[in-house]
Structures are given as structure tokens and as C-alpha cells.
Amino acid sequence: MNYERAWLDYEAGLSGPDVEKDGAVQLEIEIKTEADGGIQDAVMENAVRELRGAFGPKEQDGIRKIRLVKRQAPAGLSAEGYHLYEDKTVSNAGNEQQDGVFVIEASDSNGILYGAFELIRQARMGNTLRGLDILKHPGMPLRMMNHWDNMDGSIERGYSGNSFFFAEEKVLVNDRTSAYARLMASIGINAVVINNVNVDKAATLLITQKHFEPLKKMSEIFAGYGIKLYLSLNYAAPLELGELESADPLDEKVRGWWKKQMEIVFGEIPGLGGFLIKADSEGRPGPFTYGRTHADGANMLAEAVRPYGGLIIWRCFVYNCQQDWRDRKTDRARSGYDNFIGLDGAFLDNVILQIKNGPMDFQVREPVHPLFGGLTQTNQILEVQIAQEYTGQQRHVCYLLPMFCEILNFMTYVKEDEDTVKEIVSGRTFGQKNCGMAAVANTGNDENWTGHDLAAANLYGFGRLSFEPELSAQEIAKEWIRLTYGLDEQVEETILFLLMSSWPAYEKYTSPLGIGWMVNPNYHYGPSVDGYEYSRWGTYHRADHLGIGVDRSHAGTGYTQLYREPNASLYDDPEKCPDELLLFFHHMPYTWKLRSGKTIIQHIYDTHFEGVEMVDEMERRFAALDGRLPDAVYARIMGRLAHQKEHAREWCDQINTYFYRKTGISDEKNRKLY
Ligand code: GCU
């Protein structure tokens, strides 16, 4: 197995069951465009290379052609979409079955490339190619990866080695760059931010002459795969580069500086897509210093990049991280909403607000961020995290696609229909073209990209979901398993079981009922019930001997009222609030009966023991795959499952013991508590 090729590890001469039955698909690629002649761009070339790599070189016998047709506005096709079908009207001479020609039709090169990957995927999944007829458009315009890589090669919240974009304050461009771009294109990613949102001194220099050359090269490799390169920007660059004394967005000198700088940057890296900005958050500089708003800051940058078609992606992860734990009125969950809702409509149209899926910070369970459905006149990107910062750090299996699907399908009630998060970020709800989805990436320079082999399902899955948001988590998992490990049914069934049980299991053995946190501060791994309880971070569970949870009802912090009806009333009433979020919204006695019929305390005990049993079962089933997977993969996964089991037990015992000691209430089933 060639790990670098991950789910695209195929040899020329691909054959699936159907292909074999029909006589191999041999390749003769024909390219047509409207203005025939010089159509060949790098993206088309990569599409052809992929098809040749998969189906083999042209041979004389039994040839089936693949025709790539790029022309303006073919029927029913818009940007990046493709029509992949078998054209039976043109039969192949010498082909006994009278099979037709495979056609990939699109209006642009990205569409052709995505169509090529679709054809390869269909064949490798073992699906019939006969009568193929697939017309698809990406479900959202921007499908982004956000890497939190630092110039020294470290990765903030990275769990699979070091960066393959940077080392020793230099930009790296090598084989891994194209291997990465190829993988991303195969799942439909079209935008990549390569550096950490926390832009340090060295990364501030990415917009200077020092790094233009390799960045330009990288952007060209990306462009060959239909991907735009983006950078995270330091809002205070004019100050930190020592050129000005202020970064005030309304100061003409500052505005002029950015315009000039952007002229230079886009002149040197014409393929650049734009910038991602974390401002006035966790110590990062921003417009607040000058008494200005986020809109002032974002719009200043948007004006500077506008002549080059650039986008400014501005993050909404803004909150007070110097909170006093004694203060029960300030609520971190409110802060994103409170900071941005008043600015709805104030941003230029090349600004996009990037909003984390929940109001806190990528916990195993959070309600959907109330800015979704709150904002009606602003471009929006949904930000999720496949780096498993709070979900087991790629030592535990935690397949996150079921969570992402739930979030996308959440009804905000912002309109009578087309009101889900999916419809908002696809651009349908408000007719926007600058929106989409971004994931904090989980890759590094480990040979298998993601540390845990099964974490690659999140990498693959995020891209596929952003391209086809109607897919289910289960369908995506199946695809990934088949493409990565082949068509062995036992392998598929077992790994599917592991993936699909993993998020529920993780939720069960960690913090209960939507409360979140309870992790070791700073590095966020392993249980520490009170780790964040008396800290400045605004992340409290408020447990005492009678009850637990944060009162975010109308009588508490008022957070529930940030949602539209009927969500506001649903969350506000503990009788109606979904169990899994109860303690996020309410402070409740341990003896409170959940909708499930169990008391909170018994639910805590039961779920924690169940979570451990689930991991036990996962390990037991996986062990039976010995000999059916490459040895190294099997060994790596077994090793991590053993750790996960032990660690799940630690979580279970610490959480259960904590609540047993706090409440004095015994487990109805008399299991071991300490
Ligand atoms: C979390 C994470 C940080 C990160 C931040 C962000 O707080 O722990 O490492 O910088 O999110 O999203 O900006």
C-alpha cells in the first residue's frame, strides 16, 4: 500500500467486477472543446493523467473511449458541475457488447476533473459502469481546508506529525504538495489555507518578498488541481512589519498601505484566493484596539483585495477569554452572536463570515451556532474541525461525519423553507455565491497523513460532504472504506461498524449531556472534570452536590433567546429540550428525569459504562481483521484501539466517581465506583 496515495492508491488497468465482466475499460481519451485547439490547461492534464493512471494506456483491443468535452454552458451545467454518462449513440467498433463511449462534459476544467474522479470512484467502488448517467454540481461554492500550520513546522492542534507546508521558517514545495493537492481535488476541495489562524511574527512575513517564490509555485500546483491558495493574515501587519504606527482601519495611511501591499502580493502570486483572518480573538490584534468594528476591519481588507477578485474570510470566534468564573451573567456562548449580529448587512460582498459549528469550541456536542439563521444579509462559511482537538486527538477513533450531517440539516427557521444550515451555506437561502464550508485540517507529515488510519475517513468525508451535502455519513464511510481497503465485505462491515459507533461512543464516555469541556486544560486531552471550572476561559459546568449545568434560559444568560422560534422555546423549556443538550441549556438536579425516563445521574453512570463497552466491542471486532489489511495498518489501528480502550475506562471512572462523590447517589446497577 502506498500511504501517500491514500484512497487514490490505484494501479493502471483498474478493474471492478463490472468492468471485468464487460471486458476491461481501456482508455482512449478524446478532448473536445468549443473553441477546439488550445484547451489543454493543467487541470485538464491532471484529469487525463488520473484517467490514464486508473484505466491504463491506450491499447488496441476492446477499446472503450472516454471523451472529455468542455464547452460553454452545456445544457444543465454550471460552474464546476459535470455530466458523466455513457453515450450509446457512438458505439465502439470492434466492441462486441456494443458499448458506448464514456463522456465527461463540463463548462470548466474543474468540472472535467471532478467528473474524472467520479468515473474512477464508480469503477473502484465496484459499481456498474453500464448506462452510467450522473449529473452533479458541487453543493456549495467554497469547500475549504484550513491548516493551522506554523512556520517552524509545528501544527497547532496537529496530531499526525509536522507540517508539510513549512519547516524552519521556510515554505516547502515538494512531492507531498502535489500528492496533497491531488487528494484534495479528488474529494472536491477548491480552497486551502496553509497557515495557522494565529499568525505569528514569522508567518506575518508570508505577504512579503521573502516567501513569494515558493508560494507562487505552490499556488500553481494547487491551481492544476482546481484549488486556490489562501493565507491567514495578521491584522496588525502594517505595525508588525515596522512600517506604520497604527492598524486603524479608518486611517487613510493604513488603508493605503494595505492597497499597496495587496497590489504587490497579487502581482507576485496571481492565483491567490484571498485571506482568512482571526481578529480580536484570544489575544490576536484587530479593529477593537482603535474603537472600530469588525466590519470596518474586514471591509478595509476587502477593498484592498477586490481588484484581484480576492476574498476576505473573517472569523466569528470572538469572545472574552479573561472571564471571571464567579460571574454567572457573562456567557461565552453568546459572544459570537452578540459581536456580529448588529453588523449584518454591513460587510462588502467579498467578505465572508466564518462561523464555527457551535457557539463554544468544537466540543463533542454543542447546539448549532445561533448566527446561522440569525444573519440574513451576510455571506457565511460553516467551520468544523476534523483535527480531533476535543474528540480524541486522533488516538481515539471518532468519525465526525454524523455530527456534520446533523449540523447541516439543522432547521434555523430563518425562512419558511430553505432554512437549514446546509441551504444557508450553499448559498440557496439568500442567493449568495460567496459561502461554503471549511474544516480545520487533521493532516501532517505522518506517512498515512492523519496519524490514526481511520481519521482519514474524516478527511475524505469532509470533502465529499462539502461537495455533496445530501450524502449520508454512512454512504461516505462506505466509499472511503472501499476506496482505501478494497472490496472485502468483512473489512467493510467491520470498519463501518467502528466508524459509525465511534462518535456516539466518544460522547458517552466523555462529558455528559452537552456540557462539554472536562478536559485537561491547554492540551485538551484526557479527563479533568474541574480542569476549566475556575479558569478565565468561560467554560463552566457549575456542578454542586444538587445539580449541574449552565442556566442559559431566558431567566439565566438568555442565550436560548438568540434562536428563532420554535427553537428558542424548545431549548428554553427543560421538559422539551433535547436530552443530549440539556445541561448546555439548563442547570438541573441530578434526580431530574430525562425524556428517556432515566435520572440525570443514572444516565451519567449508564452512558459511561456503555461507552467503554462500545470501545471494547470495536476492538474485538477489529481484531478479527487480522490478515485482511496491510500488516502495518492493522498493527497501527490495533495499537490505537488498545490505548482508546484504556483511556475510555479512565474517562468513565473519573467522571462517574466525581459525580458519585459529589451526589452520594449510588448506581442502580451497583457497578464499581471509586
Ligand atoms: C481553539 C483552539 C486554539 C485555536 C482556536 C481558534 O480555542 O484550542 O488552538 O487557535 O480554537 O479556533 O482560533
- CATH number of domain containing 421: 3.20.20.80
- Statement to judge: residues 271 and 195 lie in one domain: yes
pLDDT for 585-599, tens place per residue? 999 999 999 999 999
Q: Is any atom of ligand 1 closer than 6 Å to the C-beta of 198?
A: yes
* Beta carbons of 216 and 269 less than 8 angstroms apart: yes
pLDDT of residue 54 exceeding 90, the answer is no
* Beta carbons of 381 and 144 less than 8 angstroms apart: yes
Q: Is any atom of ligand 1 closer than 6 Å to the C-beta of 156?
A: yes
Beta-bridge mates of residue 143: 437
Nearest atom of ligand 1 to the alpha carbon of 156: 9
Q: Is any atom of ligand 1 closer than 6 Å to the C-beta of 118?
A: no
- Statement to judge: residues 521 and 477 lie in one domain: no
Whichever domain contains 74, its CATH number is 3.30.379.10
Separation of CA 397 and ligand 1 centre (Å): 21
Residue 242 inside a domain? The answer is yes
- Statement to judge: residues 499 and 597 lie in one domain: yes
Q: How far apart are CA 322 and CA 319, in angstroms?
A: 9
pLDDT for 487-531, tens place per residue? 999 999 999 999 999 999 999 999 999 999 999 999 999 999 999
- Statement to judge: residues 126 and 161 lie in one domain: no
Residue 572 inside a domain? The answer is no
* Beta carbons of 274 and 303 less than 8 angstroms apart: no
- Statement to judge: residues 260 and 245 lie in one domain: yes
**Residue bearing the CA closest to ligand 1, atom 1:** 361
Residue 576 inside a domain? The answer is no
Residue 521 inside a domain? The answer is yes
pLDDT tier at 65 (50, 70, 90 boundaries)? confident
* Beta carbons of 92 and 65 less than 8 angstroms apart: yes
Residue 641 inside a domain? The answer is yes
pLDDT of residue 16: 47
Q: Please spell the DSSP secondary structure of 485-534, one letter per residue.
A: H-S-HHHHHHHHHHHHHHHHHHHHHSS-TT----B-TTT--SB-TTTTTT
Q: Is any atom of ligand 1 closer than 6 Å to the C-beta of 197?
A: yes
Q: How far apart are CA 573 and CA 297, in angstroms?
A: 39
Residue 579 inside a domain? The answer is no
The fraction of the chain above a pLDDT of 70, given in percent, is: 94
Q: Is any atom of ligand 1 closer than 6 Å to the C-beta of 485?
A: no
Separation of CA 66 and ligand 1 centre (Å): 46
Q: How far apart are CA 463 and CA 468, in angstroms?
A: 8
Q: Annotated catalytic sites, by residue?
A: 282, 361, 389
DSSP-derived pairing of the beta strands 170-171 and 191-195: unpaired
Separation of CA 220 and ligand 1 centre (Å): 30
pLDDT of residue 161: 98
Residue 568 inside a domain? The answer is no
Q: Which residue has the cell 448546555?
A: 584
pLDDT for 342-373, tens place per residue? 999 999 999 999 999 999 999 999 999 999 99
Separation of CA 200 and ligand 1 centre (Å): 14
Q: How far apart are CA 438 and CA 453, in angstroms?
A: 22
pLDDT for 97-127, tens place per residue? 556 789 999 999 999 999 999 999 999 998 9
Q: How far apart are CA 445 and CA 174, in angstroms?
A: 12
Separation of CA 105 and ligand 1 centre (Å): 42
pLDDT of residue 130: 85
pLDDT for 169-184, tens place per residue? 999 999 999 999 999 9
Q: What is the mean pLDDT of residues 64-68?
A: 83
pLDDT of residue 495: 98
- Statement to judge: residues 220 and 304 lie in one domain: yes
DSSP-derived pairing of the beta strands 191-195 and 311-315: unpaired
Separation of CA 198 and ligand 1 centre (Å): 8
Q: Is any atom of ligand 1 closer than 6 Å to the C-beta of 319?
A: no
pLDDT of residue 106: 94
Is the preceding peptide bond at 566 cis, omega within 30 degrees of 0?
yes
Q: Is any atom of ligand 1 closer than 6 Å to the C-beta of 317?
A: yes
Q: What is the mean pLDDT of residues 157-164?
A: 98
Separation of CA 278 and ligand 1 centre (Å): 10
- Between helix 489-509 and helix 473-485 the angle, nearest 10°, is 130
Find the range with the poorest average confidence among 40-44, 219-223, 611-615, 616-620. Answer: 40-44
pLDDT tier at 72 (50, 70, 90 boundaries)? confident
Separation of CA 362 and ligand 1 centre (Å): 9
pLDDT of residue 434: 97
Q: Is any atom of ligand 1 closer than 6 Å to the C-beta of 362?
A: no
Domain boundary among 436, 457, 484: 484
Q: Is any atom of ligand 1 closer than 6 Å to the C-beta of 157?
A: yes
pLDDT of residue 12: 58
Residue 561 inside a domain? The answer is no
Q: How far apart are CA 514 and CA 511, in angstroms?
A: 7
pLDDT of residue 194 exceeding 50, the answer is yes
Residue numbers of the domain that contains 608: 486-550+587-674
Whichever domain contains 501, its CATH number is 3.90.1330.10
pLDDT tier at 651 (50, 70, 90 boundaries)? very high
- Statement to judge: residues 367 and 512 lie in one domain: no
Find the range with the poorest average confidence among 66-70, 322-326, 349-353. Answer: 66-70
Q: How far apart are CA 396 and CA 398, in angstroms?
A: 6
Domain boundary among 450, 484, 518: 484
Nearest atom of ligand 1 to the alpha carbon of 440: 12
Domain boundary among 89, 108, 136: 136
- Statement to judge: residues 276 and 376 lie in one domain: yes
Convert 389-403 to b/e letters by CB count within 10 Å (16 or more is b).
bbbbbbbbbbbbbbb
Nearest atom of ligand 1 to the alpha carbon of 389: 8
Nearest atom of ligand 1 to the alpha carbon of 524: 8
- Statement to judge: residues 480 and 504 lie in one domain: no
Beta-bridge mates of residue 136: 82
Q: Is any atom of ligand 1 closer than 6 Å to the C-beta of 361?
A: yes
Q: Which of 150, 157, 315, 354 gets mutated to test ligand 1 (max ligand atoms within 8 A of its CB)?
A: 157
- Statement to judge: residues 70 and 146 lie in one domain: no
Find the range with the poorest average confidence among 60-74, 409-423, 565-579. Answer: 60-74
pLDDT for 555-566, tens place per residue? 999 999 999 999
The domain total for the chain is 3
Q: What is the mean pLDDT of residues 269-285?
A: 96
pLDDT tier at 60 (50, 70, 90 boundaries)? very low
Q: Is any atom of ligand 1 closer than 6 Å to the C-beta of 99?
A: no
Q: Is any atom of ligand 1 closer than 6 Å to the C-beta of 28?
A: no
Pseudo-torsion of CA 84, 459, 127, 124, nearest 10°?
Answer: 90
- Statement to judge: residues 509 and 461 lie in one domain: no
- Statement to judge: residues 125 and 156 lie in one domain: no
The fraction of the chain above a pLDDT of 90, given in percent, is: 86
Nearest atom of ligand 1 to the alpha carbon of 385: 12
Q: Which of 156, 195, 282, 389 gets mutated to test ligand 1 (max ligand atoms within 8 A of its CB)?
A: 282
Cell numbers at 291, concatenated: 474603537
- Sheet bearing 63-70, strands edge to edge: 26-33, 63-70, 101-106, 82-87, 133-136
pLDDT greater at residue 74 or residue 337: 337
